[in-house]
Structure 1
Amino acid sequence: MTSLTPLTALVADDEPLLREALIGMLARTWPELRVVGEARNGREAVEAFERLRPQVVFLDVHMPGLNGVEAARAIRQVDRQAVLVFVTAYDQYAVAAFEQGAIDYLVKPVELPRLQETVQRLQERLSGPAPDPDAPSQTTALLAQIAARLQQGGPSPFLQWIKASVGQALKLIPVDEVVFLRSDEKYTLVVWREGEALIRTPLRELIDQLDPAQFVQVHRSVVVNLRAISHVVRGLNETADIHLKGRPEVLPVSRSYLHLFKQM
């Protein structure tokens, strides 16, 4: 690839803030790459690829309508040499593909050091000799494997991270780092190891998406991460208080939920 032929890319993700964040990080790590198109779903991604023919395509795995894997298959039919990068919340979806070198992937939230590694691999691939003639069929097989994993519902049915606006930035909070959640009128307060933020999703909706082996409701307005509990102090009238590891807040346990801590 010569300097007279600028490298171009397409970024597809149904979350506008995540698209913008990835494009901004690409500008820092790969200034020679020109992002010529954006897409909000798989169908838009395929249409944009057919129109723009970029060398690199960043595809979110989970998009409405046509998902990232289905879009990748359609793109491969247009150009078997297109370089694909999946962006996924579940690294298990793409491990096999990544290990065999046919497809690269990034795990949300995308971190700069990991993106730099991907950029280096993509640059080497694009500047090297033409791919092995067996590579397209290998990629097709890997796409089929990942699609099968998607149809099975993925490696975990539970929420993996929570999106929250902190100032002008979108914060992606790993669920494992959440200490507790508390209902706050129309919002939910999410408290994690490094801070807190309000989100619009009601607590009752979040409860159904959390792993019940890790998160329990202890009050009509409070859900706590069991791994974040330091100790529980019993009070009067069949109530108790939860003390947390490394946090000053004390959470109430109402009578209805006291049975969860009988052995503590």
Structure 2
Amino acid sequence: MPMIECSPACRVGIAIVEDEKELVKVYEKAFSRRKIEICFIAYDGLEAVKLYLSCTPRPHAVLMDYRLPIMNGLEATSEIKKIDPEAKVIFLSADVSVRDDAMKAGAFAFLKKPASLKEILDTVQKALGRIPAV
């Protein structure tokens, strides 16, 4: 079962907020190959906010889906940005009509689903400061 609580070893890492468990597995494998630590995995927006609040250290980036149970990605992004205005949220959605709202909520980037794994990994690397932003 994936991580539902903070990894105490999360020095430079990412949080995954996604309700599709198969997609979470794909992300886990991809980040593991790139030596990107996963701080926590949340399957709904409210759980993501609670975990973000309780994490020490906090994730350096958050991969955020839009359509989530309990609290959607926009609401969760807004709450996380209230906790930490420096949080880098990478917003993922098939619904491009929420792009402006995601960016207003403070998203670092907006990726349209289905985004390629390369595009997601490149954006995560930028958010983590591993490659310069273009």
Q: TM-score range, shorter-chain basis?
A: 0.7 to 0.9
Match in the other structure for 2:38: 35
Q: Which residue of 1 aligns with 2:48?
A: 45
**What displacement does 1:116 show?**
3.5
Deviation at 1:35, TM superposition (A): 0.3
Q: Post-superposition shift, 1:20?
A: 1.5
Structure whose residues are more often strand by fraction: 1
Which TM-score applies when normalising by structure 2?
0.74
2:88 to 83, 88, 93: 83
Contact 1:22 1:110 in 2 (8 A): no
Q: 1:79 to 1:56 in 2, by over 3 A?
A: same
Whichever of the two has the greater Rg, that structure is 1
Query: Structure 2: where are the runs of 5+ without partners?
Result: 1-9
* Counterparts of residues 1-264 of structure 1 (less than 5 Å): 6-28=11-33, 30-31=34-35, 33-52=36-55, 53-94=58-99, 103-124=108-129
> What are the Cα deviations for residues 175-234 of structure 1, in whole angstroms up to 9, with x where unaligned?
xxxxxxxxxxxxxxxxxxxxxxxxxxxxxxxxxxxxxxxxxxxxxxxxxxxxxxxxxxxx
Quote the RMSD (CA, aligned, Å). 2.8
User: Is the CA contact (8 Å cut-off) linking 1:39 and 1:45 kept in structure 2?
Assistant: yes
Aligned mates of 1:87, 1:47 — CA distance in 2:
20
**Alignment check: 8 A CA contact 1:12 1:45 kept:** yes
Aligned length: 120
Report the alpha carbon displacement of residue 125 of structure 1 after superposing the two structures with TM. 7.9
Please say if residues 14 and 40 of structure 1, whose CA atoms lie closer than 8 Å, have aligned partners that are also in contact.
Answer: yes
- Aligned-pair identity in percent equals 28
Q: What is the distance in 2 between the residues matched to 1:92 and 1:109?
A: 15
